[in-house]
Structure 1
Amino acid sequence: MRIEKIKNRGILFTHINPEWNLNIYLIIGKKQNYIIDTGLGSLSIAPINEYLKNHNKQTIVINSHHHWDHIWGNNSLRNSTIISHKLCSEMIESKWKDMMQKNKQYCYGEVEMYLPNLVFENELYFPEDKIRLFHTPGHTLDSISVLDEEEKVLFVGDNIGDSMDEIIPSIYCDKDVYISTMKKYKEIDFDTCISGHNIVLKKEVIGKILSMM
Protein backbone atom coordinates (compact mmCIF):
# COMPACT_ATOMS: atom_id res chain seq x y z
CA MET A 1 0.00 0.00 0.00
CA ARG A 2 1.42 3.38 -1.04
CA ILE A 3 0.30 6.40 1.03
CA GLU A 4 0.61 9.88 -0.50
CA LYS A 5 -0.37 13.26 0.93
CA ILE A 6 -2.42 15.40 -1.46
CA LYS A 7 -2.28 19.12 -0.61
CA ASN A 8 -3.29 19.89 2.99
CA ARG A 9 -6.07 17.46 3.88
CA GLY A 10 -6.10 14.64 1.35
CA ILE A 11 -4.43 11.24 1.69
CA LEU A 12 -4.30 8.84 -1.24
CA PHE A 13 -4.00 5.12 -0.42
CA THR A 14 -2.92 3.12 -3.47
CA HIS A 15 -3.08 -0.68 -3.52
CA ILE A 16 -0.31 -1.77 -5.90
CA ASN A 17 -1.42 -4.65 -8.12
CA PRO A 18 0.46 -6.23 -11.06
CA GLU A 19 -2.60 -5.74 -13.27
CA TRP A 20 -3.79 -2.31 -12.07
CA ASN A 21 -3.40 -0.01 -9.11
CA LEU A 22 -6.43 0.84 -6.99
CA ASN A 23 -6.97 4.15 -5.20
CA ILE A 24 -8.90 4.97 -2.03
CA TYR A 25 -9.00 8.66 -1.16
CA LEU A 26 -9.37 10.09 2.33
CA ILE A 27 -10.23 13.71 3.10
CA ILE A 28 -9.72 14.97 6.64
CA GLY A 29 -12.49 17.54 7.00
CA LYS A 30 -13.06 20.03 9.78
CA LYS A 31 -16.28 18.35 10.87
CA GLN A 32 -16.08 14.87 9.32
CA ASN A 33 -13.68 12.57 7.51
CA TYR A 34 -14.56 11.28 4.04
CA ILE A 35 -13.42 7.94 2.59
CA ILE A 36 -14.01 7.66 -1.15
CA ASP A 37 -14.35 4.03 -2.27
CA THR A 38 -13.62 0.99 -0.13
CA GLY A 39 -11.45 -1.25 -2.30
CA LEU A 40 -11.25 -5.02 -2.32
CA GLY A 41 -12.23 -5.95 1.21
CA SER A 42 -11.34 -5.54 4.88
CA LEU A 43 -7.58 -5.48 4.24
CA SER A 44 -8.03 -2.55 1.88
CA ILE A 45 -9.69 -0.62 4.71
CA ALA A 46 -7.25 -1.60 7.48
CA PRO A 47 -4.59 1.05 6.63
CA ILE A 48 -7.23 3.78 6.52
CA ASN A 49 -8.62 2.74 9.90
CA GLU A 50 -5.09 2.73 11.30
CA TYR A 51 -4.50 6.22 9.92
CA LEU A 52 -7.75 7.49 11.45
CA LYS A 53 -7.42 5.89 14.88
CA ASN A 54 -6.47 9.22 16.47
CA HIS A 55 -9.02 11.26 14.50
CA ASN A 56 -12.10 11.40 16.70
CA LYS A 57 -14.65 12.45 14.07
CA GLN A 58 -17.56 10.89 12.24
CA THR A 59 -16.57 9.17 9.00
CA ILE A 60 -18.56 9.49 5.80
CA VAL A 61 -17.97 6.75 3.21
CA ILE A 62 -18.66 7.35 -0.48
CA ASN A 63 -19.00 4.74 -3.25
CA SER A 64 -18.10 6.30 -6.61
CA HIS A 65 -19.94 3.53 -8.52
CA HIS A 66 -21.08 -0.06 -8.13
CA HIS A 67 -18.12 -2.01 -9.52
CA TRP A 68 -16.72 -4.65 -7.18
CA ASP A 69 -13.23 -3.16 -6.77
CA HIS A 70 -14.73 0.02 -5.31
CA ILE A 71 -17.28 -1.41 -2.87
CA TRP A 72 -16.02 -4.70 -1.43
CA GLY A 73 -14.76 -2.99 1.75
CA ASN A 74 -18.17 -1.49 2.60
CA ASN A 75 -18.91 -4.06 5.27
CA SER A 76 -15.77 -3.08 7.19
CA LEU A 77 -17.23 0.44 7.48
CA ARG A 78 -20.83 -0.56 8.17
CA ASN A 79 -20.99 1.66 11.27
CA SER A 80 -20.49 4.73 9.07
CA THR A 81 -22.84 6.55 6.74
CA ILE A 82 -22.18 5.08 3.28
CA ILE A 83 -23.32 7.26 0.40
CA SER A 84 -23.84 6.51 -3.28
CA HIS A 85 -26.04 7.37 -6.19
CA LYS A 86 -29.45 5.67 -6.01
CA LEU A 87 -28.59 3.52 -9.03
CA CYS A 88 -25.36 2.38 -7.40
CA SER A 89 -27.11 0.77 -4.46
CA GLU A 90 -29.58 -0.97 -6.79
CA MET A 91 -26.80 -2.23 -9.06
CA ILE A 92 -24.66 -3.55 -6.21
CA GLU A 93 -27.58 -5.62 -5.00
CA SER A 94 -28.56 -6.95 -8.42
CA LYS A 95 -25.02 -7.67 -9.63
CA TRP A 96 -23.37 -8.85 -6.40
CA LYS A 97 -23.44 -12.61 -7.05
CA ASP A 98 -22.15 -12.22 -10.60
CA MET A 99 -19.35 -9.86 -9.53
CA MET A 100 -18.27 -12.27 -6.78
CA GLN A 101 -18.28 -15.31 -9.04
CA LYS A 102 -16.19 -13.61 -11.72
CA ASN A 103 -13.73 -11.78 -9.47
CA LYS A 104 -13.49 -13.64 -6.17
CA GLN A 105 -9.75 -14.19 -6.66
CA TYR A 106 -9.26 -10.48 -5.97
CA CYS A 107 -10.91 -10.54 -2.53
CA TYR A 108 -8.52 -8.88 -0.06
CA GLY A 109 -9.58 -9.93 3.40
CA GLU A 110 -13.22 -10.33 4.40
CA VAL A 111 -15.84 -9.41 1.80
CA GLU A 112 -19.55 -9.26 2.50
CA MET A 113 -22.27 -7.28 0.77
CA TYR A 114 -23.21 -4.08 2.56
CA LEU A 115 -25.31 -1.58 0.66
CA PRO A 116 -25.05 2.21 0.90
CA ASN A 117 -27.42 3.53 3.57
CA LEU A 118 -27.81 7.04 2.13
CA VAL A 119 -28.50 7.58 -1.58
CA PHE A 120 -29.08 10.62 -3.77
CA GLU A 121 -29.90 11.38 -7.40
CA ASN A 122 -28.36 14.71 -8.44
CA GLU A 123 -26.18 16.33 -5.79
CA LEU A 124 -25.32 16.24 -2.11
CA TYR A 125 -23.34 18.94 -0.29
CA PHE A 126 -21.52 19.11 3.06
CA PRO A 127 -21.12 22.86 3.62
CA GLU A 128 -19.03 22.64 6.80
CA ASP A 129 -16.28 20.85 4.88
CA LYS A 130 -17.01 22.19 1.39
CA ILE A 131 -17.40 18.69 -0.04
CA ARG A 132 -19.74 18.29 -3.02
CA LEU A 133 -20.99 14.96 -4.43
CA PHE A 134 -22.67 15.02 -7.82
CA HIS A 135 -23.91 12.60 -10.46
CA THR A 136 -21.44 12.20 -13.36
CA PRO A 137 -22.49 9.25 -15.54
CA GLY A 138 -19.89 8.05 -18.00
CA HIS A 139 -17.87 4.98 -17.07
CA THR A 140 -21.15 3.72 -15.61
CA LEU A 141 -24.64 5.20 -15.34
CA ASP A 142 -24.36 5.40 -11.54
CA SER A 143 -20.95 7.12 -11.42
CA ILE A 144 -20.54 10.11 -9.13
CA SER A 145 -17.68 12.53 -8.51
CA VAL A 146 -16.53 14.27 -5.34
CA LEU A 147 -15.22 17.83 -5.33
CA ASP A 148 -13.18 19.17 -2.45
CA GLU A 149 -13.97 22.84 -3.05
CA GLU A 150 -11.50 24.05 -0.44
CA GLU A 151 -8.51 22.22 -1.91
CA LYS A 152 -9.73 22.23 -5.54
CA VAL A 153 -9.29 18.46 -5.81
CA LEU A 154 -11.75 16.45 -7.89
CA PHE A 155 -12.21 12.68 -7.45
CA VAL A 156 -13.70 11.28 -10.67
CA GLY A 157 -13.87 7.56 -9.92
CA ASP A 158 -13.35 5.52 -13.08
CA ASN A 159 -14.35 8.30 -15.49
CA ILE A 160 -10.64 8.43 -16.26
CA GLY A 161 -8.96 5.25 -17.45
CA ASP A 162 -6.49 3.07 -15.57
CA SER A 163 -3.27 4.44 -17.10
CA MET A 164 -1.95 7.24 -19.31
CA ASP A 165 -1.89 4.76 -22.20
CA GLU A 166 -5.60 4.01 -21.66
CA ILE A 167 -6.83 7.35 -20.39
CA ILE A 168 -10.36 6.87 -21.76
CA PRO A 169 -12.08 4.21 -19.64
CA SER A 170 -14.49 1.49 -20.61
CA ILE A 171 -17.82 3.25 -21.09
CA TYR A 172 -20.99 1.42 -20.04
CA CYS A 173 -23.42 4.06 -21.27
CA ASP A 174 -23.92 6.25 -24.32
CA LYS A 175 -20.74 7.96 -25.51
CA ASP A 176 -22.49 11.34 -25.60
CA VAL A 177 -23.29 10.97 -21.89
CA TYR A 178 -19.60 10.49 -21.14
CA ILE A 179 -18.65 13.52 -23.26
CA SER A 180 -21.24 15.61 -21.44
CA THR A 181 -19.67 14.68 -18.10
CA MET A 182 -16.21 15.60 -19.39
CA LYS A 183 -17.56 18.99 -20.47
CA LYS A 184 -19.09 19.44 -17.00
CA TYR A 185 -15.68 18.78 -15.46
CA LYS A 186 -14.15 21.50 -17.64
CA GLU A 187 -16.50 24.08 -16.09
CA ILE A 188 -15.58 23.14 -12.51
CA ASP A 189 -12.97 25.04 -10.50
CA PHE A 190 -10.31 22.45 -9.67
CA ASP A 191 -6.65 21.85 -10.49
CA THR A 192 -5.96 18.31 -9.22
CA CYS A 193 -7.68 15.17 -10.45
CA ILE A 194 -7.77 11.81 -8.68
CA SER A 195 -9.28 8.70 -10.23
CA GLY A 196 -9.93 5.14 -9.19
CA HIS A 197 -6.78 3.66 -10.73
CA ASN A 198 -4.57 6.24 -12.45
CA ILE A 199 -1.83 8.49 -11.10
CA VAL A 200 -2.63 11.95 -9.71
CA LEU A 201 -3.35 14.22 -12.67
CA LYS A 202 -3.95 17.90 -13.43
CA LYS A 203 -7.13 19.39 -14.85
CA GLU A 204 -5.54 19.49 -18.32
CA VAL A 205 -6.26 15.76 -18.65
CA ILE A 206 -9.95 16.56 -19.24
CA GLY A 207 -9.14 18.61 -22.34
CA LYS A 208 -6.90 15.79 -23.55
CA ILE A 209 -9.69 13.27 -23.21
CA LEU A 210 -12.18 15.51 -25.03
CA SER A 211 -9.71 15.98 -27.89
CA MET A 212 -9.59 12.19 -28.30
CA MET A 213 -13.37 11.65 -28.38
Structure 2
Amino acid sequence: MKIEKIKSRSVLFTTRTTSGWDLNVQLILGDKYNYLIDTGLGSLSVAAVKEYIGNDNKPIIVVNTHHHWDHIWGNSSVQDCMIISHKLCREMIEQNWETTFEKYKMYVEGEAEMHLPNLTFEQELYFPEDKIRLIYTPGHTVDSISVLDEVEKVINVGDNIGDSVDEIVPSLYGEKEDYISTLLKYREMDFDTCISGHNIVLDKPVIDRILSIVS
Protein backbone atom coordinates (compact mmCIF):
# COMPACT_ATOMS: atom_id res chain seq x y z
CA MET A 1 0.00 0.00 0.00
CA LYS A 2 1.23 3.48 -0.90
CA ILE A 3 0.66 6.22 1.67
CA GLU A 4 0.91 9.80 0.39
CA LYS A 5 0.48 13.07 2.29
CA ILE A 6 -1.71 15.56 0.41
CA LYS A 7 -1.08 19.07 1.75
CA SER A 8 -1.11 19.18 5.55
CA ARG A 9 -4.19 17.30 6.72
CA SER A 10 -5.09 14.80 4.00
CA VAL A 11 -3.50 11.39 3.54
CA LEU A 12 -4.11 9.11 0.56
CA PHE A 13 -3.89 5.33 0.90
CA THR A 14 -3.56 3.61 -2.47
CA THR A 15 -3.85 -0.14 -2.99
CA ARG A 16 -2.85 -1.89 -6.22
CA THR A 17 -5.23 -4.82 -6.70
CA THR A 18 -4.31 -8.20 -8.15
CA SER A 19 -5.94 -7.12 -11.41
CA GLY A 20 -3.63 -4.13 -11.67
CA TRP A 21 -5.98 -1.22 -10.89
CA ASP A 22 -5.50 1.25 -8.06
CA LEU A 23 -7.98 2.05 -5.30
CA ASN A 24 -7.78 5.18 -3.14
CA VAL A 25 -8.98 5.73 0.42
CA GLN A 26 -8.59 9.23 1.87
CA LEU A 27 -8.13 10.35 5.47
CA ILE A 28 -8.68 13.96 6.50
CA LEU A 29 -7.28 14.87 9.91
CA GLY A 30 -9.69 17.50 11.14
CA ASP A 31 -9.70 19.49 14.36
CA LYS A 32 -12.86 17.92 15.77
CA TYR A 33 -13.15 14.71 13.72
CA ASN A 34 -11.05 12.51 11.50
CA TYR A 35 -12.80 11.77 8.21
CA LEU A 36 -12.38 8.47 6.36
CA ILE A 37 -13.58 8.75 2.77
CA ASP A 38 -14.54 5.29 1.51
CA THR A 39 -13.54 2.05 3.19
CA GLY A 40 -12.03 0.08 0.34
CA LEU A 41 -11.98 -3.68 -0.10
CA GLY A 42 -12.38 -4.84 3.49
CA SER A 43 -10.89 -4.79 6.96
CA LEU A 44 -7.28 -4.54 5.76
CA SER A 45 -8.02 -1.30 3.90
CA VAL A 46 -9.34 0.22 7.12
CA ALA A 47 -6.59 -1.28 9.30
CA ALA A 48 -3.92 0.73 7.47
CA VAL A 49 -5.80 3.96 8.18
CA LYS A 50 -6.32 3.10 11.85
CA GLU A 51 -2.62 2.32 12.20
CA TYR A 52 -1.75 5.68 10.68
CA ILE A 53 -4.13 7.51 13.03
CA GLY A 54 -2.50 5.79 15.98
CA ASN A 55 -3.26 7.42 19.33
CA ASP A 56 -5.31 10.26 17.86
CA ASN A 57 -8.57 9.68 19.71
CA LYS A 58 -10.78 12.08 17.78
CA PRO A 59 -14.00 10.39 16.58
CA ILE A 60 -13.90 9.04 13.03
CA ILE A 61 -16.60 10.02 10.57
CA VAL A 62 -16.82 7.64 7.62
CA VAL A 63 -18.13 8.72 4.22
CA ASN A 64 -19.22 6.38 1.43
CA THR A 65 -18.97 8.30 -1.86
CA HIS A 66 -21.29 5.82 -3.61
CA HIS A 67 -22.57 2.27 -3.30
CA HIS A 68 -20.06 0.37 -5.45
CA TRP A 69 -18.46 -2.58 -3.69
CA ASP A 70 -14.86 -1.40 -3.85
CA HIS A 71 -15.77 1.69 -1.80
CA ILE A 72 -17.82 0.12 1.01
CA TRP A 73 -16.49 -3.33 1.91
CA GLY A 74 -14.58 -2.01 4.92
CA ASN A 75 -17.69 -0.50 6.53
CA SER A 76 -18.03 -3.37 9.01
CA SER A 77 -14.59 -2.51 10.40
CA VAL A 78 -15.83 0.94 11.43
CA GLN A 79 -19.33 0.00 12.48
CA ASP A 80 -18.95 1.91 15.76
CA CYS A 81 -18.47 5.13 13.80
CA MET A 82 -20.92 7.44 12.11
CA ILE A 83 -21.09 6.30 8.47
CA ILE A 84 -22.55 8.85 6.07
CA SER A 85 -23.82 8.47 2.53
CA HIS A 86 -26.47 9.73 0.19
CA LYS A 87 -29.93 8.33 0.90
CA LEU A 88 -29.85 6.35 -2.36
CA CYS A 89 -26.46 4.89 -1.51
CA ARG A 90 -27.74 3.14 1.60
CA GLU A 91 -30.67 1.72 -0.36
CA MET A 92 -28.44 0.50 -3.18
CA ILE A 93 -25.90 -1.14 -0.88
CA GLU A 94 -28.69 -3.13 0.74
CA GLN A 95 -30.24 -4.09 -2.60
CA ASN A 96 -27.01 -5.10 -4.32
CA TRP A 97 -24.83 -6.55 -1.57
CA GLU A 98 -25.36 -10.26 -2.12
CA THR A 99 -25.08 -10.10 -5.91
CA THR A 100 -21.96 -7.95 -6.03
CA PHE A 101 -20.22 -9.74 -3.16
CA GLU A 102 -20.65 -13.09 -4.86
CA LYS A 103 -19.38 -11.68 -8.16
CA TYR A 104 -16.33 -9.82 -6.83
CA LYS A 105 -15.42 -11.62 -3.59
CA MET A 106 -12.00 -12.54 -4.97
CA TYR A 107 -11.00 -8.92 -4.31
CA VAL A 108 -11.79 -8.93 -0.57
CA GLU A 109 -8.87 -7.82 1.58
CA GLY A 110 -9.36 -9.20 5.06
CA GLU A 111 -13.00 -9.42 6.11
CA ALA A 112 -16.10 -7.81 4.63
CA GLU A 113 -19.65 -7.88 5.92
CA MET A 114 -22.57 -5.67 4.98
CA HIS A 115 -22.83 -2.66 7.26
CA LEU A 116 -25.08 0.14 6.09
CA PRO A 117 -24.55 3.88 6.54
CA ASN A 118 -26.32 5.15 9.67
CA LEU A 119 -26.73 8.77 8.55
CA THR A 120 -27.97 9.77 5.11
CA PHE A 121 -28.67 13.07 3.37
CA GLU A 122 -30.09 14.24 0.07
CA GLN A 123 -28.38 17.48 -1.03
CA GLU A 124 -25.68 18.71 1.35
CA LEU A 125 -24.20 18.17 4.80
CA TYR A 126 -21.69 20.47 6.49
CA PHE A 127 -19.28 20.09 9.41
CA PRO A 128 -18.46 23.71 10.33
CA GLU A 129 -15.79 22.95 12.94
CA ASP A 130 -13.61 21.33 10.27
CA LYS A 131 -15.08 23.09 7.23
CA ILE A 132 -15.85 19.78 5.53
CA ARG A 133 -18.74 19.84 3.07
CA LEU A 134 -20.53 16.77 1.66
CA ILE A 135 -22.35 17.50 -1.60
CA TYR A 136 -24.68 15.44 -3.78
CA THR A 137 -22.93 15.12 -7.15
CA PRO A 138 -24.61 12.46 -9.34
CA GLY A 139 -22.79 11.27 -12.41
CA HIS A 140 -20.80 8.07 -12.23
CA THR A 141 -23.77 6.76 -10.24
CA VAL A 142 -27.08 8.30 -9.23
CA ASP A 143 -26.02 8.24 -5.56
CA SER A 144 -22.55 9.80 -5.94
CA ILE A 145 -21.40 12.44 -3.47
CA SER A 146 -18.23 14.53 -3.15
CA VAL A 147 -16.31 15.72 -0.09
CA LEU A 148 -14.85 19.23 -0.12
CA ASP A 149 -12.19 20.30 2.37
CA GLU A 150 -12.71 24.06 2.37
CA VAL A 151 -9.60 24.68 4.45
CA GLU A 152 -7.10 23.09 2.08
CA LYS A 153 -9.20 23.34 -1.09
CA VAL A 154 -9.07 19.61 -1.73
CA ILE A 155 -12.08 17.75 -3.14
CA ASN A 156 -12.73 14.02 -3.26
CA VAL A 157 -15.08 13.31 -6.18
CA GLY A 158 -15.39 9.55 -5.71
CA ASP A 159 -15.53 7.94 -9.14
CA ASN A 160 -16.72 11.05 -10.99
CA ILE A 161 -13.26 11.09 -12.58
CA GLY A 162 -12.09 8.11 -14.62
CA ASP A 163 -9.55 5.52 -13.59
CA SER A 164 -6.38 6.82 -15.28
CA VAL A 165 -4.81 9.97 -16.71
CA ASP A 166 -5.58 8.68 -20.20
CA GLU A 167 -9.17 7.79 -19.32
CA ILE A 168 -10.44 10.71 -17.28
CA VAL A 169 -14.11 10.24 -18.20
CA PRO A 170 -15.68 7.64 -15.88
CA SER A 171 -18.19 4.97 -16.71
CA LEU A 172 -21.64 6.51 -16.30
CA TYR A 173 -24.33 4.46 -14.60
CA GLY A 174 -26.42 7.59 -14.13
CA GLU A 175 -27.70 10.16 -16.60
CA LYS A 176 -25.19 12.07 -18.75
CA GLU A 177 -27.12 15.30 -18.18
CA ASP A 178 -26.75 14.91 -14.42
CA TYR A 179 -23.03 14.33 -14.83
CA ILE A 180 -22.60 17.48 -16.90
CA SER A 181 -24.52 19.44 -14.25
CA THR A 182 -22.18 18.05 -11.61
CA LEU A 183 -19.11 19.03 -13.63
CA LEU A 184 -20.48 22.56 -13.95
CA LYS A 185 -21.04 22.58 -10.19
CA TYR A 186 -17.42 21.51 -9.64
CA ARG A 187 -16.28 24.35 -11.88
CA GLU A 188 -17.88 26.88 -9.51
CA MET A 189 -16.39 25.34 -6.34
CA ASP A 190 -13.26 26.68 -4.65
CA PHE A 191 -10.65 23.91 -4.85
CA ASP A 192 -7.34 23.31 -6.57
CA THR A 193 -6.65 19.64 -5.82
CA CYS A 194 -8.81 16.73 -6.87
CA ILE A 195 -8.77 13.22 -5.41
CA SER A 196 -10.77 10.39 -6.96
CA GLY A 197 -11.40 6.73 -6.34
CA HIS A 198 -8.81 5.28 -8.73
CA ASN A 199 -6.81 7.99 -10.48
CA ILE A 200 -3.72 9.91 -9.40
CA VAL A 201 -4.13 13.26 -7.65
CA LEU A 202 -5.11 15.87 -10.25
CA ASP A 203 -5.67 19.62 -10.32
CA LYS A 204 -8.87 21.53 -11.04
CA PRO A 205 -8.35 21.98 -14.81
CA VAL A 206 -9.18 18.29 -15.23
CA ILE A 207 -12.84 19.30 -14.81
CA ASP A 208 -12.74 21.44 -17.95
CA ARG A 209 -10.91 18.67 -19.79
CA ILE A 210 -13.71 16.25 -18.97
CA LEU A 211 -16.38 18.81 -19.89
CA SER A 212 -14.77 19.30 -23.29
CA ILE A 213 -15.12 15.57 -23.92
CA VAL A 214 -18.64 14.90 -22.64
CA SER A 215 -20.41 18.14 -23.59
TM-score strictly above 0.5: yes
Q: 1:19: Cα distance to partner?
A: 2.6
| Aligned residue number for residue 181 of structure 2 | 180
| Aligned residue number for residue 87 of structure 1 | 88
| Aligned residue number for residue 7 of structure 1 | 7
C-alpha deviations, 1:167-189, integer Å up to 9, x for none? 10100111111111001000000
Amino acid at match of 1:148: D
Q: What is the CA–CA distance in structure 2 between the aligned matches of 1:109 and 1:62, rounded to whole Å? A: 20
Q: What is the CA–CA distance in structure 1 between the aligned matches of 2:160 and 2:99, rounded to whole Å? A: 22
| Aligned residue number for residue 52 of structure 2 | 51
C-alpha deviations, 1:122-178, integer Å up to 9, x for none? 000000000000100000000000000000000000000000121101001111111
**Which stretch shifts more, 66-75 or 16-25?**
16-25
Q: What is the CA–CA distance in structure 2 between the aligned matches of 1:174 and 1:69, rounded to whole Å? A: 21
| Aligned residue number for residue 68 of structure 2 | 67
Moved beyond 3 Å, runs of 4+ = none
Amino acid at match of 1:6: I
Amino acid at match of 1:191: D
Amino acid at match of 1:16: R
Q: What is the CA–CA distance in structure 2 between the aligned matches of 1:111 and 1:20, rounded to whole Å? A: 20
C-alpha deviations, 1:1-60, integer Å up to 9, x for none? 000000010000001124310000000000100000000000111110101121110000
| Aligned residue number for residue 152 of structure 1 | 153
With structure 1 as the length reference, what TM-score do the two structures score?
0.99
| Aligned residue number for residue 107 of structure 1 | 108
Q: Percent identity?
A: 66
C-alpha deviations, 1:71-94, integer Å up to 9, x for none? 000000001000000000000000
| RMSD, aligned CA | 0.6
Q: What is the CA–CA distance in structure 2 between the aligned matches of 1:150 and 1:99, rounded to whole Å? A: 36
Amino acid at match of 2:81: S
Q: What is the CA–CA distance in structure 2 between the aligned matches of 1:55 and 1:2, rounded to whole Å? A: 21
Give the SS at the match of 1:166. Answer: coil
| Aligned residue number for residue 169 of structure 2 | 168
| Aligned residue number for residue 203 of structure 1 | 204
Q: What is the CA–CA distance in structure 1 between the aligned matches of 2:45 and 2:135, rounded to whole Å? A: 25
What stretches of structure 2 of length at least 5 have no aligned partner?
Answer: none
Q: What is the CA–CA distance in structure 2 between the aligned matches of 1:54 and 1:3, rounded to whole Å? A: 18
Number of residue pairs the alignment of both structures matches: 213
Q: 1:115: Cα distance to partner?
A: 0.1
What stretches of structure 1 of length at least 5 have no aligned partner?
Answer: none
